[in-house]
Structure 1
Amino acid sequence: MELFGRHTETAALDRLLDRAAHGSGSGLVLWGEPGIGKTALLEHAVEAASDATVLRCRGSRMEAGLAFAALHELLWPVMDRLDRLAAPQAAALRGALGLSRDTTNRFLIGAAVLSLVSDLARERPVLVAVDDAQWVDEATAHCLGFLARRVANGPVAVLLTGHEDPASGPWEGLPALEVVGLADDDARRLLVAAAPGADEALVDRTVRAAGGNPLALHELPTIDHEPDGDAPLGRSGDLTPVGPRLRRAFGSRAMAMTPPARTLLLLAAAEDRGDRHVVHRAGAGWGVDTPTWDEVLRSGLIRATGARLEFRHPLIRAAVYDGAPFLDRQAAHRALAVALPRDATAERAWHLAAAADTVDEDVATLLEQAAEQCLQRSAGPMAARTLRRAAELSPEPAAAARRLAAAARAAWDAGDAEAARQLLDDAERLGGELLVARLSGGLRGILEFAHGMPERAHRYLVCDMAVVPGARGAVELGTVAVRAAWSAGRPDLQQEALQRLLAVDTDSDPALTELLPVLRVWWSCYDQTGEVTPTTPEMASGTVSRLGTAAWELLPPVPLAQAWGIEGSLLDVLREQAVHLRRRHELTALALVLAQTAVLDIAAGRWEAAETAAADGLRLAEEVGADHVATQNRVSLGALAAARGDHRTVDEHTTQILQVSVPRGVRGLSASAYLHRGRAALFDSRPQDALSHLMPLADPEHEAAHPTCALLAAMDTVESAVQLGNADAVEPQVAMVETWAQRTGATWARTIGHRLRALVLGGPAAEASYQAALDVAGAADYPFEYARTRLLYGEWLRRARRRADARIQLAGAAEIFDRLGAKPLRARALSELALAESPRVRLVPSRTDEAGLTTQELRVARLAAKGLTNREIAAHLLISPRTVGHHLAKVYSKLGITSRAELARIDFAGGMRLRAAGD
C-alpha cells in the first residue's frame, strides 16, 4: 500500500523497528485527528515487521469501561504461553483476562505482560500495535504504558495511535509523533489514486474541503457521485473544519439507505462493543432481516467477522449516531438494553441511561449498582463516571448529592484528585457541606491535606469529625487533622486536633478504644514543652506496629519516627502497606509510602534502594498529578544529592519543593528543603552558608520553621556554628538534643548529643564524649552519621598530634563514605588522613632556593592566595583564626615574602612541587 506524503512518518517507524531488531526497544505514539492516516501508518509498520511477532488490538468506546478488555484481544493469540510465567504473574494475568477468579493485581499484571512479551522477544522481535488507543480501557492503558517504558533493553517496539496529544495520561513520557494533514500536492496524488475518474474541478473542490485528511480524500469523491445523496460536501466554498463535513458526508450516505438499514446502522453505532448477536436481537422487532444485513454489509460502512461487527472507521460510527434523531437514539438504546444478556448489568444500565431524557430513579439505581461492580473490579474512574450519570438522573437533590459524593470518593481512590474535587463541589451545591462531608467520609479535608494547605485541611478535618458516621471515620479524620497541623509546623493546632481525637466515643468499637491511648502517647510525645506522658522507644515502637494494622493514613510522619529512633518498626509496616497498595492499585498512597520508605532507607545506609523508591514514587505521583506527594519524594532525592555533593541536583529538587510547599504553608517540606541546602553547604566546607539555611528551622516566624526538623538538623547546625565560632547558636541546640535524648532514649539522639558535646567542649575533655558517641548501642546502624562522628573524632585526634589513633578513625570514616557514595566527606576524610600520615612536606619553588612548608601551612597558603580571609580559612580547615595567622606568619618567613599580594603571585599549581621532608 502506497502512502503519499508520509516520508517523515514512515522513516520514524522504520527507525523504531530497526532499533527493536537490534535489541533497543522503545515506544511511539502516533496521534492526530480522526481519519488523518494513523491506522494506515500502523498497517505500514505491521507489514514492515515481517520478521517480528505482532500483537495487536484496537480500542473500543463501549469497552473503555471494561477492565482489561483490550488486553484480552492483544494477548489472545499467545494465551498458551501463560504457563511459562512465574506463578503469581500467571495467576494475576489469568484473573485479568477472565480465565480464573484470581484477584487482579495491576502491578503484577503489568509485570506479567512485560515477562510474556520479553519471552516472545527471545525468539524474534516483537511489535505491539494498538490502534485507537484513546478508547483502550484504563486498566489496559496503564499496563501498556508500563510495558512501553520498560522495553529499552529488548527487541520490542510498542506502537500506539490515538486522537489526542499524549502529553498527559497513560502514554505520558513516551516519544510521540503528530500526524498532520497532507500537503496539497500529496493530497492531490492520493485523491487521483483513490478516484481515477475524478475530473479536475472535483479534485480541486475535494482537496480544499478535505484539508489534507486522507479519509476525507478517499470518501468525498465517492459521495459526490452518489445521485441520491445530499449536496456533495466539496461543493461548499466555506472553511468549515473537516470533522463536521465528514460527519455530514457519512450521514448522507446512511440516509440514502433503506429505513431498516439505517436502523441497523444506528443499533450498531449505539451498541459500540461490536457484538453482532446483541445487535441482531435488538433489530429483530424493527424489521431488520437478512436482506437488511446484506445491504449494510455491502455498503462497506460495517464489516462483520464472525460474531464481531466493526465500522470501517470510528468517525463513521460517530456520524451515524450523531446524525440520527434523538428519539431514534433513545429507542435504539432501549432495544439494546432488552437484548443484552441477563448478567450484563452495567451495559444495560448505561443503555437505559442513554435513553433517558428526564430524571429516572430506577435507572439511577441500576447505574449505582453498576458502579459498585466497577469498584469491585478496581475500576474507579468508570465507577465515578457511572455515579455522576446516576446523579444526573436522580429525582431528589439528596440522592443526587449522595451519588456525587460517592463518585468523588471513587475518583479519589483512583488517584484523580481534580475530578474528586469537582464532584465534591457539585455535591455540595445540591446537599450542603455538612451532608456531603458525612456522605464522602470527610473527603474535602483529606483532599486539602494531600493537595492543598495543611492549616485549611486541619479546619475541615476537625469540623468533619463530628459529622462522619461511625467512630472509626472520626478517628481517621482526627489523626489526619493532627498530622496536617504537624505538617504546618503548628503545635497549637496539633494539640487542638489531638484533644478532639481523644474525645471521640469509641465504646462501640473495642479496637478503637485500644488504639486511642496509643495515639495519645505517640502525638503527645512530639510536644516539646516537657508536659508529656513519659514514654520509651519500646512503647513508641509498639505504637507504630499497632498503627500498621489500621489504615495507612494513621501512620506517623517519617521525621517524627526518626526523632523517636524507631525507623525499623515503621519500615516493616510501610513495606507491608506498599504490598497492599500495589495490589489495590492505589497509586497516590503507594507514592507516599515509597517516599517514606526512601527516607528510612537513607538513614539505614541503603542509598541505592532509597533512590529507586524515591524515583518510582516521584514518577507515580507525577502520573496521577499528586504534586504534594511528588514533593515528598523529592525530599529524599535532595537528601541523597546533598550527601553526594551533587549541588545542581540539590538546587533543582529543593527549588521545586519550595515552589510547592511555601505557598501552601507546608512547613514540614519547606524545612526539609532548607535542611538539605544547609547540609550541602556544610559538606562543601561552607559553614556560613550552611548556618544561613539551618538557623531558620528554629525561628517560629520563618516560612521553614518546624520543631521536628529543627531537632533533626541540630547536628548540622552546631557543627556549622562551631566552625564559625558562633557560640550563641550552639548551646540551645545541644541542650535541645540532650533533652530529647533523656526523654526518649533514642539511639540517634544519644549519639548526636555526645558528638555535639564533644564539639562544644574541645580540648582533652572532648575525647570522652566522642568515644561515648561511638559506643552508644546501635549507633553503627546509622552508617552515615556514624562515619561523621568518626571523621570529627579523627580530626580532633590529628590536631592533638595522635596521628596513629587519628588514622584509624579517619580511614574507617573514609571507607563508609566511599561505600555510600558521600564524595565530599570522603574527600575531607582522605585529606585529613594525608595530614595524619605525612607530618611534613617540602615546597620546592622553581628557583634554586628551597622553603620547607608543612602540609597545613601549604593548605593555608593556597587558600590565602585565593583571597580568603583568616576567618574563612579557619572555617574551611576547622581551625581557629588565630592558628591561621600563626601559619601565615611562618609561610611568609619561609617564602621570603611580606604580604598576601606577593603570596597571590606564587603559582602553587605549576611553579612548585611537594616532596617528603626526608627527600
Structure 2
Amino acid sequence: MNDGRRPNTRLRPACGAASTKPIRPKQLDDAAPRWLRAVGDQPGVAGSPDEPRAGTPISASPPRLFGRHAETTALDALLDQARAGIGDALVLWGEPGIGKTALVQHVHHRAGEFVRLSHRAARAESELDFAGLHGLLRPVSKHFESLAAPQAAALRSAAGSSSEPTNPLVVGAAVLSLLCRLADKRPVLVTVDDGQWLDDATARCLGIVARRLHPHPVVIVLADQHDPAARRWEGLPELRVDGLTDASARQLLAAVAAPTDEVAVADMVAKAGGNPLALRESAGICESAEDDEHRIRGRTPIGPRMRRAFRAALDALSAPAQLLIVLAAAECDGDRRTVQRAGRALGAHDAWDEAIDTGLLQVGDDQIEFRHPIVRGAVYAGSGAEIRRRVHRALAEAMSDESPHHAWHLAEVADDRDEQIATLLERTAAHSLLRGATSAAARELRRAAELSSLPIDVSKRLADAARAAWDAGWPALSERLLDDAERLAPGDHIARRSRGLRGLLEIARGRPDRAYHYLTIDMDRVTDPGTALELGTMALRASWSAARDDLQAAALTRLLELDVDGRAGWAALLAWWRDTDRPAVPPTSAIATDVPDATVTARTAVSRLLPPTYLGHAWGLDEPMGEALRRRTPDLRRRDERARLAVVLAETAVLENFAGNWAAAESSAGEGLGLAEQVGTDHIAAQCRNSLGWLAAARGEEDLVAEAGARVLQGSLAQGVRSLTAAAYWNRGMASLFQGRPEEALASLIRLTEPGHAAAHPTFALLASLDIAEAAVYVGRHDLAEKRARELHTWARRTKASWADSAAQLIRALLGGPHVESAFLAALDMPGARSHPLFYARAQLFYGEWLRRGRRRTTARARLGEARALFDGLGAEPLRRRAQRELELTGPPGSRRAPDIAEFSRLTAQEQRVARLAAEQLTNREIAARLRISHRTVGHHLGNVFAKLGINERVQLRHTHAGHER
C-alpha cells in the first residue's frame, strides 16, 4: 500500500513493441549453447536468490523494506518489462544511509530467473580505469570469445588481460553485445551499488550501454549518492530515494530495536529524519550520558556507519567543495554570508556549484540549510579533524568579535589552555543565558572550563555549566559537571554558581530528606534573595513529600526570615504549604491566609514556587495552576528541556485526572513517564505512574493498578517519599472500593491517616476522605466517616475550597440522619461541583441509591441515569455497572432481577452470614443467638445488606444468592 510519499521520479515510459517474444522463467535446456549453459553455473550470475555474487555479497534472504512502495513498484515494473522483452535502466540516488543498497538487494532477489551480474564499487578502485567493469563481468569473462574479434579484444583489454589500446565506445558496444547474447534465453539484470565510486571509464561504458537497452530484455540498476542530472548518468531514468515517513520509520524501529516508550521512539524518529541507517544506529545509542555529551557539544549523535558513509561522500568531492560543505555544517546559524566570506578566505568560493549538486545543501537568500539535522551532524562528524580546524578558524575570522559564535569557533581551534578564549566564552554564555539559550550556554561554559588554567576557575565554570545543563533539561550531565566542580575545588562558590543545584538534583532523584539538607544549607550560601526563596520553596516541597512536619516548620521559619523585595506578594504562597493545623507548623500571623490573594498569586507565580499539584488541588487552585502549566509547556517543548517538561506533564496529568479529561491525563502521564525515564528523574517517573494508576483504578483495570503501585513502592518506600507511597495506597484503595470490596479498600485507605505508617500523608488523607468515608460506612465504621467529615469541614472553612465543603456534605448524607436529602442537594449544588466529573457522578449515584431505597423510583431514575451517563463518558466502568444495577432496581417490580453473585460478594463475611440466616426467615434475636452477637448488631448488618443489594424487604433475601445457599 502506498505510504503517501511522493518520490522525485523521472521514469521514461516504455515505447515501441518488443523485438522478441515474452520470455517466461525456465531452466536452461540442453539445446542451449554450451557457453550460455555455463553462465547459469557462474557464481553471481544466475541460480537461486541466495547465491554469491561478484563484489560485495548480497544477503541470502531478501531485505525487509518499510514504506518503499513507490520504489519497489518502479523496480518490479522494470523486471516485468524485461520479462516482456523490453529493457531499460534506472538510477537510484539519495544521501548515504537512505536505503539504496536495500533496494538494489530487493531487485536482485526479485529477479531469481534472470541472469544476474552485480558489483559494488569501492573508493580504492575509483582511479583505476575499467576496475568496475572487471568486477562486473569477471563471472562471464570466459565468454568474451563468442563476440566479434574487435569487441572481444576490447573487452580483454578493458579486463586487463591484453595490452591493446581501448576505445570507450568500442568497449561499450562490446558490453552491450555480451549482455544481449546473455539475454537470448533469459532476461539479464545488472546492478551496481555505490556508483559514485565507479571509475570514469566504467561509468562511461555503462552509460553507453544503458542508453541502448530498449530492444533487449536487459535491466541495469545503478545506485549513486549524487543527482544523476548533474553527473555521469545524465539523461538516464532516475528515482530519488527520500526519507521514510514517520509511520514507516516507527515500523523499522520496532523491527530492529527492543520495545521502548513512545517518547523515545518519537525522539529517534525526529532525529533520524527518515534515514534508515540513522534509525538503526540511533536505536543503539545510549539516550542518557552519551546523548547528553553530544548535546552539550552541540551535535546530533551520529553512529559510526553514518560517520563513515558521509566521510566517504565528502571524499568523493574536490577539496574546495568539501570545505564549503563542512563550513556550512560548522556555522551554527547557517548564515550564508558568513559561510561565503569564510569560503573565499579558504579559496573555495568557486566550488559552490559542486557543493550544491551533492544535494546536501539548500541555499537561500540568507540561509544555508541541510535537509535535516542528521545530515548536518553526519557531515561534520564525517569530516577530518584538520578540515574542522580550518573551517572553524576561517569562520572565526569571517565574523565580528561581538558575534555570539566568534568565541566558540576560536575555542574549537584552540588545542591548549587559553584563559583569554575562556573569558570570551564565559561572556558569550552570559549573553546566551539572557536570551534563554541554556543549552548553548552549557556548551560554552563547559568549553570555557576546559580552556581554563587555574583549578578554581575550572571549578567555577563547571558549576555554571552544571546549572545551565540543568536548566536545559540534562540532569545526568548536570550532575557529572557538578561532581567534577566539587572534586577540583570544593567550596561555597559551587552552591553560589550553581544556585543550589545539588538539592534540586536530589529532589529529581526522589530523595527528599537529602534534598532538604542541601537546599536549606545552600539558602545561606547563595547571595541572591530570589534564589534563596526558590531553594526554600523547594525545601518545603521536599519536606511535604516526606510528610515531615518538623522539616516543614523549619523551612517555613527560614523563608519568613528572608528579605525579599515584594514580600507581601510571595508571602501568600506560604499559606499553601499548611495542609494541617498541627502544632509543628507555626501558626504565625506572618503567613498570609487570605485565600483570594493566594489564588491571584497562583495565576502569575513562577511555577517552581507553586505547591505540588495535589496540594494545590486541595486548596482549590486547579484553574490557576493549570493555566500556569499550560503556559510553560509550548516553550519547554520548543527548547527541548526534557527534565522540566517531564515535571510539567506529570503535574498536568494530576489536574486532568481530577477535571475528568482522562485521555489528556493519560497522554500527559505517558509522555512525562517516558521523558523522566530518559533523563533519570525517578521522582517524576513515579508521579506519572501514580497518575496512570489512578486512572486504572477508576476504569477498573486492577492489574495495571497493581503493576504501577509495585513500581512506585519499590522506590518510594526505600527513600521515604511518603507522597508517592500515599498516592499508590490511594489508588489501591480506590480500585478495591469501586469493585465492591469495602473492607479491602478501607484496609489500604486507612493507612493514609495512621501516624507513623509509610503511607501516612495529610494531603492525601484529605483528598481521599470521601473514599475512606464510603468504605467506612459500608463496613460499619461510622466513627471513621464522621472524622473525615469533620476534617473536610475544617479544611473548607479555612481554605474556602468548595470541593472540600461538597465532600463533607456528601459524607454527612452517607451517614444518614434527619437532613440526608438537604446534604445531598448541598453537595450537588456546590459551586464548581461539576468541574470534578467523577466526584459529581458519585454524588448523583449515592443520591439515586438513597432515593431508590426510599421507593422514590422516578426521581431516583433521573439521578441514576445522569450518574450512569457521566460514568460512561469518563470510562469508569465499575461505577457505571453499579449505576446500571441501581437503575434496573428502579423499574416495575416484575422487571427487577434478583441481585447476582457479584453483588452478594460485595458483602462482608459477617454480612453474608447474617443475610443467609435472614433468608431462612430467622428473627434478629434468633440470628444474634446463632452468631453470638447482639440483636442491634444484627440490625446494623441487615441495614448494610439491604443497601448493598438494593432491596427493601426481608422476604427479598429469599431470591438472592443468600437464599439459594441455605
Q: How far, CA to CA, are the matches of 2:409 and 2:897 in structure 1?
A: 86
CA contact (8 A) 2:546 2:721 kept: yes
Q: Partner residue of 1:43?
A: 100
Equivalent of 2:732 in 664, 672, 677:
677
Question: How large is the Cα RMSD of the aligned pairs?
Answer: 5.5
CA distance in 2, matches of 1:542, 1:840: 59
C-alpha displacement at 1:392, in angstroms? 2.1
User: Structure 2 vs 1, CA of residues 520 and 39 (structure 1 numbering), >3 Å: closer, same or farther?
Assistant: closer
Query: Is 1:166 equivalent to 2:207 in the alignment?
Result: no
Following TM superposition, by how much is the alpha carbon of 1:705 offset from its aligned partner in structure 2, in angstroms?
Answer: 1.6
Q: Quick one: structure 1 residues 393 and 305, their matched pair in 2 at CA, closer, same or farther if it must change by over 3 Å?
A: same
Does the C-alpha gap of structure 1 residues 41 and 750 become closer, same or farther in structure 2, counting only changes over 3 Å? Answer: closer
Partner residue, 1:810: 864
Partner of 1:613: 668
* Correspondence list, 1:305-324, <5 A: 321=384
Change (3 A) 1:872 1:654: farther
Question: Is the Cα contact below 8 Å between 1:264 and 1:283 reproduced in 2?
Answer: no
Secondary structure of 2:243's match? strand
- The equivalent position to 1:517 in structure 2, one of 558, 562, 571, is 571
Which of 128, 134, 137 lines up with 2:243 in the alignment?
Answer: 128
Partner-residue secondary structure (3-state), 2:508: helix
1:363 maps to 2:408: no
Question: Are residues 466 and 479 of structure 1, via their aligned partners in 2, closer, same or farther at CA, if it must alter by over 3 Å?
Answer: same
CA displacement at 1:727 relative to structure 2: 4.0
Tell me what 2:878 maps to: 824
Residue of structure 2 aligned with 1:859, choices 869, 875, 900: 900
Check 1:127–1:2 CA distance in 2 against 1; reply closer, same or farther (3 A cut). Answer: farther
1:602 to 641, 645, 657: 657
Q: Which shifted more, 827-836 or 778-787?
A: 778-787
> Aligned with 1:804: secondary structure?
helix
Deviation of residue 361 (structure 1)?
0.6
Distance in 2 (CA, whole Å) between partners of 1:520 and 1:862 is 47
C-alpha separation in 1, matches of 2:814 and 2:363:
83
Report which stretch shifted further, 697-706 or 402-411. 697-706
1:729 matched residue in structure 2:
784
Q: In the alignment, is the contact (CA less than 8 A) between 2:392 and 2:410 conserved in 1?
A: yes
**Paired residue secondary structure (2:855):** coil
> How far is the alpha carbon of 1:750 from its aligned partner?
1.1
Greater C-alpha radius of gyration: 2
TM-superposed deviation, 1:441: 1.0
Where do 1:721-800 residues align within 5 Å?
Answer: 721-760=776-815, 762=816, 764-800=818-854
1:424 aligns with 2:482: yes
The count of aligned residue pairs is 693
Hey, what's the Cα distance between the residues in 1 that align with 2:657 and 2:751?
Answer: 24
Superposed, 1:505-904 pairs within 5 Å as 505-506=563-564, 509=565, 511=566, 513-524=567-578, 526-529=580-583, 532=587, 539-760=594-815, 762=816, 764-840=818-894, 855-856=897-898, 858-859=899-900, 863=904, 869-871=909-911, 881-882=941-942, 903=965
Q: CA deviation at 1:609?
A: 3.2
d(CA) in 2 for partners of 1:425 and 1:214? 33
Instruction: Report the Cα distance in structure 1 between the residues aligned to 2:941 and 2:655, rounded to whole angstroms.
Output: 39
How far has the Cα of 1:546 moved from its partner?
1.8
Paired with 1:8 and 1:657, the residues of 2 have a C-alpha distance of: 45
Distance in 2 between residues matched to 1:789 and 1:314, nearest whole Å: 58
> Is the contact made by 1:266 and 1:320 (CA closer than 8 Å) also made in structure 2?
no
Q: Percent identity?
A: 38
- CA gap of 1:883–1:262, structure 2 versus 1, over 3 A, is closer
Q: Could you say if the C-alpha distance between residues 532 and 870 of structure 1 is closer, same or farther in structure 2, counting changes exceeding 3 Å?
A: same
Q: Distance between the aligned counterparts of 1:652 and 1:480, measured in 2?
A: 30
| Structure 1 letter corresponding to 2:806 | T
Contact kept in structure 2, 1:49 and 1:127, CA below 8 Å: no
Change over 3 Å in CA distance of 1:689–1:126 after alignment to 2: farther
Q: Which amino acid aligns with 2:278?
A: T
Partner of residue 498, structure 2: 440
Task: Give, in angstroms, the shift of residue 570 of structure 1.
Answer: 2.3
- Contact 2:796/2:805 (CA < 8 Å) preserved in 1? yes
In the alignment, the residues of structure 2 paired with residue 738 and residue 483 of structure 1 have an alpha-carbon distance, to the nearest angstrom, of: 25
Tell me the alpha carbon deviations over residues 351-387 of structure 1, each in whole angstroms, 9 at most, x when there is no partner: 5445545432112123324444655676544532332
Find the residue that maps to 1:368 and give its secondary structure: helix
Task: For 1:501 and 1:741, locate their aligned partners in 2 and report how far apart those are by CA, in whole Å.
Answer: 26
Q: CA offsets per residue over residues 803-855 of structure 1, 9 Å max, x none?
A: 333223222222221222211111101101211214356xxxxxxxxxxxx84
Q: CA deviation at 1:635?
A: 2.7
Deviations 1:118-168 (A, max 9, x none): xxxxxx9994379xx9xxxxxxxx9995694799xxxx9664527844256
The amino acid of 1:42's aligned partner reads G
- Counterpart amino acid of residue 554 in structure 1: L
Q: Identify if the C-alpha distance between structure 1 residues 874 and 402 changes in structure 2 by more than 3 Å, giving closer, same or farther.
A: farther
Provide the rounded CA distance (Å) in 2 between the counterparts of 1:171 and 1:428. Answer: 22
Distance in 2 (alpha carbons) for counterparts of 1:582 and 1:515:
30
* Distance in structure 1 (CA, Å) of the matches to 2:598 and 2:654: 19
1:889 CA displacement: 8.6
Distance in structure 1 (CA, Å) of the matches to 2:700 and 2:547: 29
* Unaligned residue ranges in structure 1 (runs of 5+): 22-36, 51-123, 134-141, 173-211, 219-242, 254-260, 842-853, 905-919
Q: Write out aligned runs for 1:46-61 (5 A).
A: none
Distance 1:867 1:314 in 2: 66
Determine the C-alpha separation between the residues in 1 that align with 2:959 and 2:422: 95
Question: CA 1:146 to 1:126, structure 2 compared with 1: closer, same or farther past 3 Å?
Answer: farther
Residue of structure 2 aligned with 1:5, choices 58, 62, 70: 58
* Distance of 1:14 and 1:827 partners within structure 2: 44
Does the 8 Å CA contact 1:665/1:703 hold for their aligned counterparts? yes
What residue number does 1:908 align with? Answer: none
Is contact 1:873–1:884 with CA below 8 Å preserved after alignment?
Answer: no
Correspondence for 1:406: 464
Equivalents in 2 of 1:747, 1:713: separation in Å? 15
Normalising by the residue count of structure 2, what TM-score does the alignment of the two structures yield? 0.61
Q: For 1:313 and 1:641, how far apart are their aligned partners in 2?
A: 44
Shift of 1:539: 3.4
Letter in 2 for 1:166: A
Q: What secondary structure is seen at the aligned counterpart in 2 of 1:663? A: helix
Structure 2 vs 1, CA of residues 47 and 515 (structure 1 numbering), >3 Å: closer, same or farther? farther
Distance 1:623 1:373, change over 3 A: farther
Cα displacement (A) at 1:282: 6.9
Aligned with residue 518 of structure 2, among 449, 452, 460: 460
CA distance in 1, matches of 2:380, 2:578: 63
